[in-house]
Each structure stands twice: as structure tokens, then as C-alpha cells.
């Protein structure tokens, strides 16, 4: 059976198509509003909240075999199209950065001192491999680095990092579960939660992407 790591609006719509239901009928099957389904159609890149992710999992798992087969074909077809499109042009190195909040704290990792950029404390981050959605990379890299499970709340934007020159995509994430531990001892020396209003003690303010500071202030 096709296993979905992270549901998006596009994948939710593919499930609707596999079930061969109208938007209204799909909403009724899910027990949600038709407006939510319409949002998935209008914003295919959106990542539903954790509870909706679980609901989509349940609907897929309980669907008849023929529906699951149609869904798998749709996902495979979409992946093939994305791969073909990306193969036609050079791949730019992109990094997903997770700003994970838990109540009044935010998650940071400490890189080893031999980091060429000279940056020590950072937000969890990882390279986005070709064909992998940035949101999926964000969740996976955070878990691999810190042992923390989180969900993407929203995108904070993207930029070329002023020091490393890497194309960075930032996501505000919500803590779900897990103890913060240094799960990547090769690259990191520590992982910790710090108060949101103390982030500048660990990372120079001029090095922090402004939308991150704004998001932390709004969320306080």
C-alpha cells in the first residue's frame, strides 16, 4: 500500500480522485467542510495540520484495494512528472530550515566548530534532495537531527543565506513529541530548547532571517 510521509493539498486531491468523489462527497466522507477541500484544490502545496494528516491516513487505509491502487498510480505519475521536469534543468542546492516552537521555547542545534561558515548555533536544517518536497525534508531532517517530531505550521519564506550562499527555505513548525537529543553526533555537538526571547543570545540577530523573528514574536 502507498504510504504517505506528508500529506499536501495536492495529495489529498489525488485521494479524492482515486475515490471518484465530488468535493462535497469527499468532504462528507472525511467529516470536514467543503471549504477545506476547496482550499486543497486552490493551494496544492499546503500541508494540513497533524490531526488532518491522521484523518487522511485513516481514509486511505480503509479504502478498497482498487481505490488504493488508483491512488498509488496517481502518486507515481505525479512523481514521474516532477522528476522529468527537474531533470531538464540544473539542480540548485536547497536547504530546509525548521523553526520548531514548543510553548515559549524554540529548538536549536549546535554545529561542530569546524563549520566553514563560522556559524555555531542554528535551527535544525537539512539538504532538500531532488524530488523531495521541502516540507517533507523539514520534518525528516528535524527528526533525524534532534529526535523531535513536529508538523509544518506554515512557510516563512526563502532566501539566499548571506554567509553560506545556500538557497534556504524556512518553515515554522509545531512540536508534537519526542525528547530533544543530539541524534547526529557527526555534525552537531548539542541540541536544546531555548526561550524564544533569548534566541539572539545564541544566534546574532543580523544573521536571523527577519520573518523568523516576527513569527517568534507573534507566537509569544
Q: What is the pLDDT of residues 66-125, one digit of tens each?
A: 888 888 888 888 766 655 544 444 456 789 999 999 999 999 999 876 444 455 899 998
Q: What is the mean pLDDT of the chain?
A: 85
Mean pLDDT of 208-220: 87
pLDDT at 123: 95
Domain boundaries, the chain: 9-87, 94-219
CATH number for region 94-219: 3.90.79.10
pLDDT at residue 114 in the model: 47
| Band (130; pLDDT cuts 50, 70, 90) | confident
CA distance 34 to 22: 10
Burial class (CB in 10 A: 0-12, 13-18, 19+), 50: middle
Nearest-angstrom CA–CA distance, 3 and 136: 13
SS3 38: helix
Decide: helix, strand or coil at residue 160: strand
Amino acid 219: pLDDT: 62
Tell me what the mean pLDDT of segment 23-41 comes to: 87
Q: Which of the pair, 92 or 187, is modelled with greater confidence?
A: 187
What is the maximum alpha-carbon separation in the chain? 56
Side-chain half-sphere CA neighbours of 80 within 13 A: 6
Q: Which pTM was predicted?
A: 0.58
What pLDDT is recorded for position 56?
92
Instruction: Identify the residue with better confidence: 119 or 189.
Output: 189
Amino acid at each position: 500500500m502507498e504510504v504517505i510521509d506528508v500529506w499536501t493539498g495536492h495529495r489529498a486531491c489525488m485521494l479524492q480522485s482515486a475515490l471518484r468523489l465530488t468535493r462535497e462527497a469527499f468532504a462528507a466522507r472525511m467529516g470536514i467542510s467543503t471549504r477545506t477541500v476547496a482550499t486543497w484544490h486552490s493551494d496544492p502545496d499546503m500541508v494540513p495540520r497533524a490531526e488532518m494528516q491522521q484523518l487522511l491516513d485513516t481514509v486511505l487505509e480503509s479504502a478498497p484495494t482498487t481505490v488504493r491502487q488508483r491512488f498509488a498510480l496517481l502518486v507515481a505519475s505525479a512523481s514521474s512528472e516532477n522528476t522529468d521536469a527537474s531533470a531538464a534543468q540544473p539542480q540548485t542546492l536547497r536547504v530546509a530550515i525548521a523553526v520548531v516552537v514548543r510553548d515559549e521555547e524554540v529548538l536549536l542545534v549546535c554545529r561542530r566548530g569546524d563549520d566553514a561558515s563560522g556559524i555555531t548555533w542554528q535551527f535544525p536544517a537539512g539538504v532538500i534532495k531532488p524530488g523531495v518536497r521541502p516540507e517533507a525534508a523539514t520534518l525528516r531532517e528535524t527528526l533525524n537531527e534532534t529526535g523531535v517530531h513536529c508538523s509544518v505550521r506554515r512557510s516563512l519564506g526563502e532566501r539566499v543565506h548571506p554567509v553560506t550562499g545556500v538557497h534556504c527555505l524556512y518553515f515554522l513548525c509545531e512540536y508534537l513529541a519526542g525528547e530533544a537529543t543530539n541524534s547526529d553526533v557527526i555534525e552537531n555537538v548539542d541540541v536544546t530548547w531555548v526561550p524564544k526571547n533569548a534566541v539572539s543570545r545564541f544566534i546574532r540577530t543580523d544573521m536571523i532571517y527577519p520573518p523568523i523573528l516576527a513569527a517568534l514574536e507573534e507566537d509569544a
